[in-house]
């Protein structure tokens, strides 16, 4: 006798007994699609407002980083410029202080006069100061002794201002004129060394123990060296800058060696 099967019962049994199919991390089954599952999937995405807010925050952070970076670059440029301007000044002051500490007073064959702000400075080198009497001419023992050089450690040094090679440069150039061969019978061309530029004024003052004097010339009769020498350098203002806030560079160098004249004394009668 033939058994009559209900199709609905057969389908229900088949669904209950068949294995579920899996693919990757999601389970594929034959459960019907519902609106609740779609809502859960939609809540995982970003909304347009959230995206715009994230972009705005990133833009604010980038603007802040850009401002900090630009400030750091400007600070680096200013620091580099300040160092480049300070290096020639420090080098010039070091050389001048070294020469003044080795000053040799007048007297003897290998020595000459000490002249500050006087006339005929640099005459033995065939020079004449372009800035008038603003200069210093003296003998010092700072020359380097070498087997290849025919002179000793004494040399004549003359500091003066010269017009710069670049006419567009403000101020003048501070140069150091050196005559190594002080025993020459003829005028020798000096060695001119550039020390620094952008110098507005150069001033040397000599201290006699009581006050500062703007001139000093041992060839005029007083063969004593000054107790100290003061150096004042006023830098020229750059283009577009004023000179009101610029202070002059100043250095005081004491002179240890002093030379005094032993004048002969005259006697009347008695033993000579």
List pLDDT tens digits, range 198-244: 888 899 999 988 999 999 988 887 788 999 999 999 988 876 666 55
Q: Where are the alpha helices (DSSP H) in the chain?
A: 7-17, 35-42, 48-101
Between CA 198 and CA 172 the distance in angstroms is 6
Each residue's pLDDT tens digit, 90-142:
899 999 999 999 888 887 667 788 988 887 787 777 776 555 567 899 999 88
- Provide the phi-psi class of 242: left if phi over 0, else alpha when psi is between -120 and 50, else beta: beta
Phi, psi for residue 248 in degrees, rounded to 5 = -70, 150
pLDDT bracket for residue 88 (50, 70, 90): confident
Each residue's pLDDT tens digit, 22-78:
544 444 455 555 555 555 555 577 788 888 999 999 999 999 999 888 888 888 888
pTM: predicted TM-score of the whole model, two decimal places = 0.64
Map tokens 């060839």 to a residue.
219
Phi, psi for residue 253 in degrees, rounded to 5 = -120, 115
Number of residues in the chain: 272
Map tokens 């995405």 to a residue.
45
Our separate counts of H helices and E strands in the chain read 3, 12
Q: What secondary structure letter does DSSP report for 45?
A: S
| Residue 82 pLDDT > 60 | yes
Between CA 25 and CA 186 the distance in angstroms is 104
Nearest to 105, CA basis, from 239, 216, 258, 265: 258
Between CA 250 and CA 238 the distance in angstroms is 20
């Amino acid at each position: 006798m033939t058994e009559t099967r209900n199709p609905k019962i057969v389908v229900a049994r088949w669904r209950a007994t068949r294995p579920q199919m899996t693919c990757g991390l999601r389970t594929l089954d034959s459960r019907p699609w519902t609106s609740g599952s779609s809502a859960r999937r939609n809540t995982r995405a970003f909304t347009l407002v959230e995206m715009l807010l994230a972009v705005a925050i990133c833009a604010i952070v980038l603007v802040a980083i850009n401002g900090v970076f630009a400030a750091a670059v400007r600070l680096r440029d200013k620091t580099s410029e300040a160092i480049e301007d300070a290096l020639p000044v420090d080098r010039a002051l070091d050389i001048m202080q070294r020469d003044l500490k080795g000053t040799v007073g007048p007297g003897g064959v290998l020595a000459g006069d000490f002249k500050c702000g006087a006339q005929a400075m640099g005459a033995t080198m065939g020079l004449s100061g372009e800035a008038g009497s603003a200069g210093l001419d003296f003998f010092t023992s700072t020359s380097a002794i070498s087997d290849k050089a025919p002179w000793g450690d004494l040399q004549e040094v003359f500091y003066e201002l010269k017009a710069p090679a670049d006419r567009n440069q403000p101020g003048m150039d501070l140069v150091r004129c050196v005559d190594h061969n002080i025993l020459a019978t003829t005028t020798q061309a000096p060695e001119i060394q550039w020390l620094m530029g952008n110098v507005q004024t150069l001033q040397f003052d000599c201290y006699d123990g009581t006050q500062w004097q703007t001139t000093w010339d041992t060839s005029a009769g007083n063969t004593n060296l000054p107790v100290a020498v003061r150096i004042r350098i006023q830098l020229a203002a750059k283009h577009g800058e004023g000179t009101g806030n610029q202070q002059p560079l100043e250095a005081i160098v004491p002179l240890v060696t002093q030379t005094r004249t032993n004048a002969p004394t005259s006697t009347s009668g008695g033993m000579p």
